Amino acid sequence: MGLDRRSFLKALGFAGATIAIGKSFGAPQMKESDIEFYGILYDSYRCGGCQSCEIACAEAHGLPKPIDEPKIGVQRKTDETRRVVVNSYKTSKGEVYIRKQCMHCNEPACAAACLTQAMHKTKEGPVIWRGSKCMGCRYCMVSCPFDIPKFEYYSANPKIQKCDMCYDRIMKGGIPICVEICPAEAIIFGKRKDLIKEARKRILENPTVYVDEIYGEHEAGGTGFLYLTPNPINELGFSTSIQKSSYPELSKGFLFSVPTVFVLLPPILLGIYEATRNNQLKEGDENE
């Protein structure tokens, strides 16, 4: 069995093509200064837990109306029938309401995980889901550190449900329905940069009301949804294990090693093959 040089070169060419496809391997990257994403600032001090945002969201997206209310000690979770929930927490500063929905990360793990870019970080900021591309593998759910994408397990044509910051409304020059409807102005919509400035201003003006921290400024590499809270976040049902750097960063090292392996391993294997060829001839003599 001699080496067929032609077919080997063919194989190498194939490998080359794979590398060419993989030119953009690695997480979608953006410098902090470039980010002009839209975002939402949520001020839990102003939120009265009225659920207007939940009801409006459900109506706007054809989902069932919420039937339960925020209750202390009960963790309501987003699922395939609701994209946003408001929970209530008992703290040293009284009852505090906290909304939970997609965080619209600057570098979302779900979008980096998606092999068809069905989960997509738009250049405007919202992370949206595109059904025509999605194959329902649920890798976005495995990867999302906030456990946000939800899957319709009881459907033959299942969708991934999650907040999309009312992307279609934004594209028409509008604002998200929950922001529009909120009677307490607890949520405001705008450029992420401006929202951070606004949050800082509020903290500075009312240092006794807010903790000196904007949840979402650095979490998971920065998120589009920002929280102002009167209590440290670990008292408010947030996961405390969320890392400050982005999650796609975690698999970058592996993805970068792929072209290297593709370039280096075949010649090494070929070299070993050539070097051990004599063995084959000798052993072949013994056997035949």
Partner 1 sequence: MKMSNMIYPIAKDNDGKSIWKFLVGEFKPKGKLLTPFNIISLPIMLLGLVLIIIRFWKGIGSITNLTQEVPWGLWIGFDVVTGVAFAGGAYVLTFMVYILNMHKYHSIIRITVLNGFLAYVFYAGALLLDLGRPWNVINPIIGNNFGTSSVLFLVAWHFLLYMIAQLIEFSPTIAEWLGAKRARKILSGMTIATVIFGITLSTLHQSGLGALYLMAKDKIHPLWYSEFIPIMFFISSIFAGLSMVIFEGTISQKVFFNQISEKNHRTHDDILHGLSKICSVAMFAYFFLKVIVFIHGKHWQYINTSMGYWYLLEILGFVLLPMLLFFSSYRTRNIFMIKLASIITILGIIINRLNVTVIGFRWDVDIRYVPSWMEFVVTLTVIFTELWIFRWVVNRMPVLRESPSWVNEEK
Phi, psi angle pair for 144, to nearest 5°: -65, 120
**The pair of three-digit structure tokens given for residue 103, joined into one six-digit string:** 């965080």
- Please, what sign has the CA dihedral across residues 229, 82, 110, 105? negative
- Integer-rounded Cα Rg, in Å, for the chain is 25
User: In whole angstroms, how close is the CB of 245 to partner 1 at the nearest point?
Assistant: 11
Give the span between the Cα atoms of 185 and 52, in whole angstroms: 11
Please give the single-letter amino acid code of residue 201.
K
- Using alpha carbons, list the distances in angstroms from residue 211 to 162, 207, 224, 227, 233: 29, 7, 19, 11, 9
Residue 38: enclosing H or E segment and its boundaries?
A: strand 38-43
User: In whole angstroms, how close is the CB of 185 to partner 1 at the nearest point?
Assistant: 31
**The pair of three-digit structure tokens given for residue 161, joined into one six-digit string:** 């449900």
User: Beta-carbon neighbour count of residue 133 at 10 Å?
Assistant: 13
> Which segments of the chain does DSSP mark as H helices, in order?
5-21, 52-60, 109-113, 139-143, 167-171, 177-181, 192-205, 249-287
